[in-house]
Amino acid sequence: MIIRGCPTQHEHYEEEFRSMIYRECGVFKATYQEDMAIFPIPLDRWGLTVILFVAFVMIPSLASEYWLSSILIPFLVFSLAALGLNFLTGYAGQLSIGHAAFMAVGAYTALILYGRYEVPLLLSLLGGGFVAAAVGSVFGIPSLRIKGFYLAVSTLAAQFIIEWVLTHWKWVSGGVFGTVDTPPMRIFGWPIDTPVKKYYLVLCFVVPLTIFGKNLVRGQLGRAWMAIRDMDVAAEIIGISLFRNKLLAFTVSSFYAGVAGGLITFTYYGAANIEAFNIMVSFHLLGMIIIGGMGSVLGSFFGGAFITLLPIFINQFARAFGAVLKTDLLACIDLIIFGGLIIFFLIVEPHGLARLWQTLKEKLRLWPFPY
Amino acid sequence: MVFAIEVVIGGLLVGVMYSLVALGFVLIYKASGVFNFAQGDMTLLAALALVGFLTFLPLWLAILAVLVIMIALAFAIEAVVLRPLVARSPLALFMATIGLGFFLQGIGQGIWGTDPKGLHIGISDIPFDVRGLMISQFDLVGAVLSGGSVFALVWFFQKSRIGRALRAVSDDHEAALSVGIPLGRAWAITWAIAGAVALVAGVMWGTRLGVQFSLSLIALKALPVLILGGIDSIPGAIVAGLIVGASENLAEVFLGPYVGGGIQTFFPYLLALLVLWFKPYGMFGREIIERV
Which has more pLDDT, B87 or B56? B56
The chain-wide mean pLDDT, for chain A, equals 85
Average pLDDT over residues A113-122: 87
Q: How far apart are CA B169 and CA A155, in angstroms?
A: 29
Q: What percent of chain A has pLDDT over 70?
A: 89
Distance spanning both ends of chain A, measured CA to CA = 34
Give the integer Cα–Cα distance in Å for A106 and A109: 5
Among A69-78, A218-227, A336-345, B208-217, the minimum mean pLDDT is found in: B208-217
More confident residue, A200 or A320: A200
Given this model, what pLDDT does residue A325 score? 62
Digit-coded pLDDT (tens) for B120-131 = 776 666 676 766
The partner residues of B16 in beta bridges, in order of sequence, read: none
> Sorting pLDDT into bands at 50, 70 and 90, what band is A169?
confident
pLDDT level of residue B192 (50, 70, 90 thresholds): very high
Q: What is the SS3 string spanning chain B?
A: CHHHHHHHHHHHHHHHHHHHHHHHHHHHHHHHCCCCCCHHHHHHHHHHHHHHHHCCCCHHHHHHHHHHHHHHHHHHHHHHHHCCCCCCCHHHHHHHHHHHHHHHHHHHHHHHCCCCECCCCCCCCCEEEECCEEEEHHHHHHHHHHHHHHHHHHHHHHHCHHHHHHHHHHHCHHHHHHHCCCHHHHHHHHHHHHHHHHHHHHHHHHHHHCECHHHHHHHHHHHHHHHHHCCCCHHHHHHHHHHHHHHHHHHHHHHHHHHCCCCCCCHHHHHHHHHHHHCCCCCCCCCCCCCC
Question: Is position A218 within any domain?
Answer: yes
- Subunit contact B102:A152, Cβ cutoff 8 A: no
For A215, the domain range is 50-278
- Residue B110 and residue A347: Cβ atoms within 8 Å? no
Instruction: Report ipTM for this prediction.
Output: 0.85
pLDDT of residue A7: 47
Q: Is the pLDDT confidence value at B212 over 80?
A: no
The answer to whether A338 contacts B260, with C-beta atoms less than 8 Å apart, is no
A157-180 burial, b if ≥16 CB within 10 A, otherwise e? bbbbbbbbbbbeeeebbeeeeeeb
A346 has pLDDT over 70: yes
State the pLDDT at residue B127. Answer: 72
Give the distance between the most distant pair of CA atoms in chain A.
87
**B289 within a domain of the structure (yes/no):** no
CB B231 to CB A150 under 8 A? yes
Task: Name the residue among B133, B129, B140 with its Cα closest to residue B208.
Answer: B140
pLDDT value of residue A232: 86
Query: What is the pLDDT at residue B71?
Result: 93
Q: How far is A34 from chain B (nearest CA, A)?
A: 37
In a domain, A143, yes or no: yes
Please list every residue in chain B whose beta carbon sits closer than 8 Å to the beta carbon of residue A168.
259-262
Of A284, A299, A289, A296, the C-alpha closest to A353 is: A299
- pLDDT one-digit tens code per residue, A8-33: 555 555 555 555 566 777 778 888 88
CATH number at residue B110: 1.10.3470
Pairing of strands B133-136, B127-130: antiparallel
Distance of CA A349 to the CA centre of its chain: 19
Is residue A80 within 8 A of residue A209, CB to CB? The reply is yes
Taking the C-alpha atoms of residue A69 and residue A110, their distance in angstroms, rounded to an integer, is 20
- Name the more confident of B10 and A228: A228
Residue B204 placed within a domain? yes
d(CA B186, CA B174): 13
The pTM assigned to this predicted structure is 0.88
Assess if residue A1 is contained within a domain.
Answer: no
| Cα B89-A89-B233 angle, rounded to 5 deg | 50
Scanning B250-279 for CB atoms below 8 A from A yields 259-263, 265-266, 269-270, 272-273, 276-277
- Give me the number of domains chain B comprises: 1
Q: What pLDDT, on the 0 to 100 scale, is given for residue A176?
A: 52
Interface of B with A in 33-92 (CB under 8 A): 35, 80-81, 84-85, 88, 90-92
Q: Do A154 and B107 touch (CB under 8 A)?
A: no
Between B75 and A368, the higher pLDDT residue = B75
- The full DSSP string for A199-267 is HHHHHHHHHHHHHHHHHHHHSHHHHHHHHHHH-HHHHHHTT--HHHHHHHHHHHHHHHHHHHHHHHIII
Does the pLDDT of residue A179 top 70, yes or no?
no
Question: Inter-chain contact A154–B223, Cβ cutoff 8 Å?
Answer: no
Interface contacts A/B by beta carbons within 8 Å: 148
Pairwise pLDDT comparison (A284 vs B212), residue with the higher score: A284
Instruction: Flag whether B287 is in a domain.
Output: no
3-class DSSP assignment, residue A272: strand
Q: For residue A154, which residues of chain B lie inside 8 Å, CB to CB?
A: 227, 269, 272-273, 276
What mean pLDDT comes out for the span B69-93? 88
Q: Which helix (H) or strand (E) holds A326?
A: none
Give the burial class of B223: count Cβ atoms within 10 A of its Cβ; 0-12 exposed, 13-18 middle, 19 or more buried.
buried
Residues in A touching B112 (Cβ below 8 Å):
328
Confidence grade of residue A3 (pLDDT, cut at 50, 70, 90): very low
Strand partners, B130: B133
Q: What is the pLDDT of residue B243?
A: 92
User: Is B96 an 8 Å CB contact of chain A?
Assistant: yes
Cα dist. B107→A240, A307, A329, A334, A358 in Å? Answer: 46, 20, 7, 10, 34
What pLDDT is stored for residue A204 in this prediction? 92
Q: Contacts of residue A164 in chain B, CB cutoff 8 Å?
A: 262-263, 265-266
pLDDT at B133 over 80: no
Rounded-to-integer distance, Cα B59 and Cα B64, Å? 9
- pLDDT mean across residues, chain B: 84
A328 and B276 within 8 Å at the Cβ level: the answer is no
Q: Which domain holds residue B198?
A: 2-278
Amino acid A177: pLDDT = 54
By the 8 A CB rule, do B29 and B231 touch?
yes
| Residue B89 belongs to some domain of the structure | yes
The verdict on a CB contact (< 8 Å) between B266 and A290 is no
Please report which confidence band the pLDDT of residue A175 belongs to, taking 50, 70 and 90 as the band edges: low
Residue A233 counted as domain residue: yes
* CB–CB contact A328 B269 (8 Å): no
Q: Considering only alpha carbons, which residue of chain B is nearest residue A339?
A: B99
What pLDDT digit, counting tens, does each position of A296-333 carry? 999 999 999 999 988 888 777 777 776 566 666 766 78
The pLDDT, as a whole number, for residue A178 is: 57
Q: Which range (A5-19, A183-197, B61-75, B179-193) has the least confidence?
A: A5-19
Give the pLDDT band (50/70/90) at residue A80: very high
Tell me what the mean pLDDT of segment A70-83 comes to: 94
Which residues partner with B117 through β-bridges? Answer: B211
**Predicted local distance difference test score (pLDDT) of residue A250:** 96
Q: Are A180 and A173 in contact (CB under 8 A)?
A: yes
The yes-or-no verdict on residue B53 having pLDDT over 80 is yes
Nearest CA in chain A to B77: A343
Dump pLDDT digits (tens) for B246-272: 998 888 888 877 777 777 788 888 888
Tell me phi and psi for residue A8, to 5 degrees.
Answer: -70, 170
pLDDT band at A2 (very low <50, low <70, confident <90, very high): very low
The answer to whether the CB of A68 falls within 8 A of the CB of A268 is no
Q: What is the pLDDT of residue A214?
A: 93
Question: Looking at the domain assignment, is residue A85 inside a domain?
Answer: yes
Say which residue, A172 or A118, is predicted with more confidence: A118
Total number of domains constituting chain A:
1
Q: Given A168, A341, A343, which is nearest B260 (Cβ)?
A: A168
Q: Is the pLDDT of residue B288 over 60?
A: yes
Residue-wise DSSP of A158-188: HHHHHHHHHHH-HHHHTTSSS-EEPPPEEET
Under the banding of pLDDT at 50, 70 and 90, the label for residue A126 is very high
- What does the pLDDT average to over A44-72? 85
CB A265 within 8 A of CB A110: yes
pLDDT tens figures, A214-273: 999 999 999 999 999 998 889 999 999 999 999 999 999 999 999 999 999 999 988 888
Rounded mean pLDDT, A324-353: 82
